């Protein structure tokens, strides 16, 4: 039995006031430690995708906040998420990033074995525990399951805390972005495909989350990359067909007016997205054959509706971003106050032309790789922030563009695309979960 | 193969590395054919650059954008600039077809990229597919296989 801590020590006013966030939120290791036990424990955090583990015994190891976990397919087709820690001496049981464990997990240290749901299966030389009171120890409980797991259209989320908000309450209408990405497959099915780009950032994870709905930086920070791409393209001989790479780069340096008109929608609990009316993904060239497949699968009207939704970046608080029209998902894995591992995933729309996956992979390479010039632009400013926020010359970070103190009264709203409303929404959610304090295990 | 052809091919690889290390970007780009690609796979033994993810798979236009960007006044990730150093093992000629004017070389390397006070070491193998154009051997495909291609990296801003 576990309960929220009634004597929560968190005074969120220390970290957020109006449209300002205190610099300690980004640089203080104590805040980071508290985030791991609150924000990443009480919320529903993305773990992985069902297509990674099709068969019973298939597993993926990952982290939820700072917690090592293993996501595993059960015999009955369900998916469990277990703390990846042997009940005996604490060894990480599943060792590979991805694999099949067979009928059970086996610890490499003393060969304690566990059912796929974490229950103890066998302990070598068990007679040695015959009168030891093993059944009264924690070890007898096996590998611990996380508080709750929910699989939504193959996307696997978990809540570490035993008690808390339901999945449906936490995400609400924001699930429409996942719906749209899945619906873009004529078969209504996605597969993780193409490999994951892993990019180490020496900055706080919230800077990345903040950046996803920041529509006033592309024309500035990415002038060097996307701006140069446009310049080089303009110098190409007339009549040269526009390369896919230019089509992907160019919208980044659209004028402010474009981003203003793009729109931003925020939902309760820190979720929200850019691109309600238009987006940088709206004007890609049609992929031959795709429209006919969609029309056949859904009918013309519904297919138009699905493909007409061109949402840019959707933040699922706390730490993923999904792009429906280009089938990518980014995870901002917090490692320390000043260290974040960014994983960029790509999906195949099952039944759709390969060219869509090819475009998705090119986008990921050009924008999200450690070798990406757009990535270089962004990481430079994050790392400069991480350093300069140690300045005592100013204490607060400003997220006040188009701020209205009354905005908190409207949980879901659509506003001007250059508003920092969604950033404030994220920081408010962050402060809310922080204030709950760690779950107390009774 | 004649000793002089062998040396000519090997010299292309050495010359390319030197152009990069000395940041002679225009000269470096001119070593590539117009239809060339520069490929850094994401996984060991990768065969597909299009339907599998890569760290880089760039044609000459994209390489040209990188070179222009490195020169740009608003390229803040190059304040201060990055510098790099190649240490190459003697390239081996894996294939040579003098008639077709095609060759492939393989070169083990250590590559260091520095910026400010930071220095990163990378190790791997480069393969150069060369084509004879007129009197000169040009690069059609450069493939860079890092020994830890699947690791999480920070910024890699120059060329291996």
Chain segment A111-160, per-residue pLDDT in tens: 999 999 999 999 999 999 999 999 999 999 999 999 999 999 999 999 99
- DSSP secondary structure code for residue A224 in this structure: I
Q: Which residue, chain included where needed, has tokens 């890092």?
A: B146
CB atoms A369 and B152 under 8 Å: no
Average pLDDT of chain A to the nearest whole number: 95
pTM, 2 dp:
0.96
A378 neighbors A1 (Cβ within 8 angstroms): no
Residue A1 pLDDT level (bands cut at 50, 70, 90): very low
Tell me the count of A-B CB pairs closer than 8 A. Answer: 102
pLDDT value at position A442? 66
- Tokens encoding A290: 């795709």
pLDDT value at position A12? 72
- My answer on whether omega of the bond before B77 falls inside 30° of 0, hence cis, is no
Instruction: Say whether pLDDT at B73 is over 80.
Output: yes
Residue A60 to residue A58: CA distance in whole angstroms: 7
- Tokens encoding A85: 């820690």
Rg (CA), chain A: 23
Q: Chain B closest CA to A357's CA: distance in Å?
A: 6
Chain A's closest residue to B70, CA to CA, is A224
Chain segment A315-343, per-residue pLDDT in tens: 999 999 999 999 999 999 999 999 999 99
Q: Chain A closest CA to B153's CA: distance in Å?
A: 5
Mean local confidence (pLDDT), B118-130: 98
Task: Determine if residue B115 is left, alpha or beta; phi over 0 gives left, psi from -120 to 50 gives alpha, anything else beta.
Answer: beta
Q: Which residues of A touch B42 (CB under 8 A)?
A: 195, 197
Instruction: Say whether pLDDT at A4 is over 60.
Output: no
Chain B's closest residue to A230, CA to CA, is B65
Instruction: Say whether pLDDT at B146 is over 70.
Output: yes
Residue B49 to residue A439: CA distance in whole angstroms: 47
Residue A234 to residue A221: CA distance in whole angstroms: 20
- DSSP secondary structure code for residue B51 in this structure: S
What residues does A346 pair with on adjacent strands?
A: A328
A282 neighbors A274 (Cβ within 8 angstroms): no
Residue A1 to residue A347: CA distance in whole angstroms: 38
Mean local confidence (pLDDT), A379-388: 98
pLDDT value at position B1? 64
pLDDT value at position A11? 67
pLDDT value at position A250? 94
pLDDT value at position A54? 98
Q: Chain B closest CA to A431's CA: distance in Å?
A: 30
CB atoms A376 and B77 under 8 Å: yes
pLDDT value at position B37? 98
Partner-chain residue, chosen from B40, B43, B59, that has the shortest CB–CB distance to A195: B43
Chain A's closest residue to B71, CA to CA, is A224
Prediction ipTM score: 0.97
CB atoms A229 and B65 under 8 Å: yes
**Beta-sheet strands, E only, within B89-157:** 92-97, 102-115, 118-133, 136-146
Q: Chain A closest CA to B83's CA: distance in Å?
A: 15
Count of H-run helices and E-run strands, chain A:
15, 24
Instruction: Say whether pLDDT at A8 is over 50.
Output: no
Q: Chain B closest CA to A301's CA: distance in Å?
A: 31
Between A322-331, A339-348, A406-415, the lowest mean confidence (pLDDT) is in: A406-415
Instruction: Say whether pLDDT at A13 is over 90.
Output: no
Between A1-15, A63-77, B7-21, B34-48, the lowest mean confidence (pLDDT) is in: A1-15
B84 touches chain A (CB under 8 A): no
Chain segment A293-323, per-residue pLDDT in tens: 999 999 999 999 999 999 999 999 999 999 9
B40 touches chain A (CB under 8 A): yes
Instruction: Say whether pLDDT at A10 is over 80.
Output: no
- DSSP secondary structure code for residue A358 in this structure: H
Taking each helix axis from N to C terminus, what angle separates A354-368 and A373-388, rounded to the nearest 10 degrees? 40
How far is residue A24 from each of residues A373, A389, B95, measured CA to CA in Å?
Answer: 30, 8, 59
B67 touches chain A (CB under 8 A): no
């Amino acid at each position: 039995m576990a309960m929220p801590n009634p004597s929560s020590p968190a005074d969120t006013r220390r970290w957020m006031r109006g449209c300002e966030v205190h610099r300690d939120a980004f640089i203080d290791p104590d805040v980071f430690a508290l985030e791991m036990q609150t924000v990443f424990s009480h919320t529903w955090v993305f773990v992985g995708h069902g297509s990674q583990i099709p068969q019973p015994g298939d597993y993926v190891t990952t982290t939820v906040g700072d917690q090592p976990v293993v996501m595993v397919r059960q015999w009955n087709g369900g998916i469990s998420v277990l703390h990846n820690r042997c009940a005996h001496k604490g060894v990480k049981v599943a060792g590979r990033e991805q694999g099949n464990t067979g009928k059970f997990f086996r610890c490499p240290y003393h060969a304690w074995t566990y059912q796929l749901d974490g229950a103890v299966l066998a302990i070598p030389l068990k007679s040695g525990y015959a009168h030891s009171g093993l059944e009264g120890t924690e070890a007898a409980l096996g590998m611990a399951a996380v508080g709750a797991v929910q699989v939504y259209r193959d996307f696997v989320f978990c809540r570490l805390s035993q008690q808390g908000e339901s999945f449906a309450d936490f995400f609400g209408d924001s699930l429409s972005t996942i719906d749209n990405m899945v619906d873009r497959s004529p078969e209504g099915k996605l597969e993780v495909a193409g490999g994951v780009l892993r990019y180490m950032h020496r900055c706080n994870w919230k800077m990345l989350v903040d950046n996803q709905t920041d529509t006033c930086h592309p024309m500035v920070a990415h002038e060097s990359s996307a701006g140069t791409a446009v310049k080089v393209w303009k110098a190409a001989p007339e009549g040269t067909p526009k390369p896919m790479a230019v089509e992907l780069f160019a919208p980044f340096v659209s004028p402010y007016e474009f981003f203003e008109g793009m729109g931003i929608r925020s939902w309760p609990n820190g979720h929200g997205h850019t691109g309600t009316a238009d987006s940088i993904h709206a004007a890609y060239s049609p992929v031959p054959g795709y429209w006919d497949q969609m029309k056949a699968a859904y009918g013309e009207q519904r297919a138009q509706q699905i493909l007409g939704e061109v949402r840019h970046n959707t933040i699922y608080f706390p730490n993923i971003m999904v792009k429906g029209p280009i089938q990518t998902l980014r995870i901002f894995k917090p490692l320390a106050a000043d260290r974040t591992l960014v994983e960029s995933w790509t999906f195949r729309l099952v039944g759709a032309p390969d060219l869509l996956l090819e475009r998705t992979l090119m986008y990921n390479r050009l924008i999200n790789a450690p070798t990406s010039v757009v990535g270089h632009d962004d990481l430079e400013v994050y790392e400069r922030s991480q350093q300069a926020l140690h300045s005592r010359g100013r204490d607060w970070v400003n997220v006040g563009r188009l701020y209205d103190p009354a905005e908190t009264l409207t949980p879901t709203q659509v506003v001007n695309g250059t508003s920092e409303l969604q950033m404030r929404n994220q920081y408010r959610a962050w402060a809310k979960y922080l204030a709950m304090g760690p779950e107390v295990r009774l | 193969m004649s000793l002089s052809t062998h040396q000519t091919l090997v010299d292309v690889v050495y010359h390319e590395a030197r152009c990069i290390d000395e940041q002679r970007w225009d000269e470096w780009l001119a070593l590539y054919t117009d239809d060339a690609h520069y490929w850094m796979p994401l996984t060991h033994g990768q065969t597909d650059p299009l339907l599998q993810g890569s760290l880089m798979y760039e044609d000459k236009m994209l390489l040209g954008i990188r070179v222009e960007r490195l020169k740009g006044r608003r390229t803040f990730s190059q304040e201060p600039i990055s510098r790099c150093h190649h240490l190459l093992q003697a390239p081996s000629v894996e294939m040579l077809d003098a008639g077709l004017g095609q060759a492939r070389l393989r070169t083990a390397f250590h590559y260091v990229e520095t910026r400010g006070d930071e220095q990163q070491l990378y190790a791997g193998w480069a393969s150069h597919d060369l084509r004879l154009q007129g009197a000169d051997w040009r690069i059609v495909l450069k493939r860079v296989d890092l020994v830890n291609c699947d690791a999480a990296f920070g910024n890699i801003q120059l060329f291996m």
